[in-house]
Structure 1
Amino acid sequence: MSDIAKVDKKTFDYLMEEPPERWARSCSPRRRYDMLTTNIVESMNSVLLEARELPILRMMDFIQVKLQRWFYERRNEAEGTFYDVSCWVEEELKKKIDLAFTLNVFPVDSWRSRVEEEGITFLVDLNKRTCDCFQFQFDELPCIHAIAAIEKRNIKKSNFCSDWYLKESWLKTYERQIHPVGHTDSWIVPDSVKSQIIKPPDFKVPPGRRKKKRHISATDSSKITFKCGRCRRIGHNRTSCIYSPAVHPFSRKHRE
């Protein structure tokens, strides 16, 4: 918390007023992600950018072709890997190995170990998959303390990863195929569907040009940097400038 206070005092005061169960993973009664982003939504939004202006059926065909190709490529990638876990997990474990080698490990029994990091002691239980740093049980991936204990015993690190990270789960994610729809002449449509008359929704077109850009949320940081044309400072423009004298030293008249 002291590190947060050094970065932003307002954030520190706000967090101290709220119960830890609402913002700390270690105090949460339920399992939560380590971060919350809109990366998946933003990626799909970028992919479908060229299909937005298409008719609805053409757009659905575009999405179907994209997903069909993605599933095929990811299924082949999962089948071609030689690891017991996904490629991302394998890279994460490799990053932690270098740090784990700098720790001191003192085995207690077949499963438990005392691991020291910069004078701080952590108790690791490989059987229960727990560590005093809580990262082992939260992420369900071995932390650097657990990896140090695992390397001490020459055990496979993948044995202590959650089933969600294993190669088998990766294969099951993309084991289904997205079949092509085919031409409309080959469709077999039941009579119960043919008899239904679907009308377009009631929609009143508002005046003006339709907006195509998405709404910027409060969590998105602005990439626009304002620079004042009078005082040359960043963060405001000429209209809101409070540093401008009658004759500014940067003005053309003053330079002449």
Structure 2
Amino acid sequence: MFDSGVTAKVNLLERSCSCWKFDLVKMPCEYVIAALRANYGDDVGYGNSIYEYFLPIYKFKTYLLASSKAISIVPPEAEWTVPQEVQDSKISPPSYDYKLERKKVKYTKGVGEIFKSKRRK
């Protein structure tokens, strides 16, 4: 496809485009839409074919299904009812293996190295 001097390679069967937007976002880019218009013209099939190339998560029916159930809101911490056995349990930090720690090596400067002061002037 050619658009204002930009060349893009579109493969409708593999659902890919050389601009990578169609590959990554799974939403038809301007090059895919131009390829579909070239394929179908301005017929009735053109308008319906565009939506076949969208990922189902972008479709209106999926949006309605996702937002159809109510989301429970977590009450403030003061209103929580925590069982006594959970309140009494003590949680200790995970075990730590000191052998896995990086060894600290003191560096000594060689004869030709210059000592740099950490003081700022």
**What TM-score, normalized by structure 2, do the two folds share?**
0.50
Bigger Cα Rg: 2
Q: Point out the structure with the larger helix share.
A: 1
- TM (norm. structure 1) is 0.25
